[in-house]
Amino acid sequence: MRYNAYSQHLIEKFGTRVYKLPVNLGGTCPNRDGNLGWGGCIYCGAEGAGYEALPASLPVRKQLERNMAYIGKHYRAHKYIAYFQSFTNTYLPLELFEENMRVAIETPGVVGLSISTRPDCINDDYLDCLAKLASGHELEIDIELGLQTVNYHTLASVNRGHTLAEFVDAVLRTHRRGFAVCAHLILNLPGDDELDVIENAKLLSALGIQYVKLHALYVPANTRLGELYLRGEVRMIPLEEYVQRVVTFLEYLHPGVVIQRLIGRAPEENTLFCNWGTSWWKIRDMIVECMTERNSRQGCRCDYLNGKALKRFSPGRA
């Protein structure tokens, strides 16, 4: 394998296949409800970036059990990670957050939690609460932080409502509790170029992030991005260029970082542009083929940490 794949990581860690089960808490996002801003990121659709979940009206335990019944039957699975995916899963009162996490942790078969949120929606109280709940349990816990890009000018132009500093702060606090961090990135945001792609990889490596999830930008209808796209004011880079960007990103990324996803799946309905009209697995294959052509592997250009300029004086040092 030319990159460090999540499926393999889970097999090595748990000795069997482990499946992520989406849990939908409903709710909203401070970038949509007026707390930090209105309308959200320019590409945010009504679903808040979660698509495969059951209705939020179902209790957490029921959602998990229903998904387990389906996945368990079809894939003979026994171990699961409860994946709080849609919107901002820590943007709710602490007591409610605690109750949701407790229910998930106590559901038989759950061996981990993955909690998706914004970098400005995690703090010491929520992390301490999670640490208390998790103590005494053998759990794989990661906080999935939507960064999207290290370029803070781009973050402003897509109306993320946070900058790079909030991401760094959230990573440091999460790591202090011993939880893993998964960074979510979009490598083809309008305005970003190859330099940003490289800096994304370098920053995540320098911060010691455990997981990365990549997603190509898609354009939902009825969003601000949709309007710009229809007016021809944003340009989507060609698929071949996107593939090259992913490979460059992987080359600069530390080899120990686990790749949870190389390309996202988004619904084609109600989208004006989605994955170049190409299936996700075909794009994944193109990325691997490109790595083979370039004879590259994840981390093959990760030579910049720990005082690069001093390496001439101690050539054997990593």
Binding site for ligand SF4 (CB under 6 A): 29, 31-32, 40-41, 44, 48-49, 87-88, 118, 146
* Residue 153: Cβ within 10 Å count: 11
Residue with smaller CB distance to ligand SF4, 21 or 225 = 225
Estimate the crossing angle of helix 60-75 against helix 94-106, to 10 degrees: 30
Give the C-alpha separation, 66 to 11, whole Å. 23
- Residue 200 Cβ vs ligand SF4, minimum distance, rounded to whole Å: 18
Q: How far is CA 311 from CA 97, 201, 301, 318, in A?
A: 47, 21, 15, 8
Sign of the Cα pseudo-torsion (54, 281, 43, 251, in order) = positive
Residue with smaller CB distance to ligand SF4, 2 or 162 = 162
Give the torsion through C-alpha atoms of 159, 162, 163, 166, to 10 deg: -170
- Residue 66 Cβ vs ligand SF4, minimum distance, rounded to whole Å: 24
- Residue 148 Cβ vs ligand SF4, minimum distance, rounded to whole Å: 9
Give the C-alpha separation, 261 to 69, whole Å. 24
The answer to whether 19 and 27 are in contact (CB under 8 A) is no
- Residue 116 Cβ vs ligand SF4, minimum distance, rounded to whole Å: 9
- Residue 267 Cβ vs ligand SF4, minimum distance, rounded to whole Å: 15
Contacts 24+ apart (CB under 8 A), 167-176: 167/119, 168/207, 169/119, 170/119, 170/120, 170/122, 170/143, 170/145, 171/119, 171/145, 171/207, 171/209, 172/207, 173/122, 173/123, 173/124, 173/127, 174/122, 174/127, 174/143, 174/145, 175/208, 176/127
Residue with smaller CB distance to ligand SF4, 248 or 275 = 275
Residue with smaller CB distance to ligand SF4, 87 or 211 = 87
Give the C-alpha separation, 259 to 239, whole Å. 20
Residue with smaller CB distance to ligand SF4, 116 or 244 = 116
Residue with smaller CB distance to ligand SF4, 87 or 218 = 87
Residue with smaller CB distance to ligand SF4, 56 or 288 = 56
The answer to whether 264 and 307 are in contact (CB under 8 A) is no
- Residue 28 Cβ vs ligand SF4, minimum distance, rounded to whole Å: 8
- Residue 315 Cβ vs ligand SF4, minimum distance, rounded to whole Å: 45
Residue nearest to ligand SF4 according to CB distances in the complex? 40
- Residue 242 Cβ vs ligand SF4, minimum distance, rounded to whole Å: 20
Q: How many residues does the chain have?
A: 318
Residue with smaller CB distance to ligand SF4, 44 or 53 = 44
The answer to whether 104 and 76 are in contact (CB under 8 A) is no
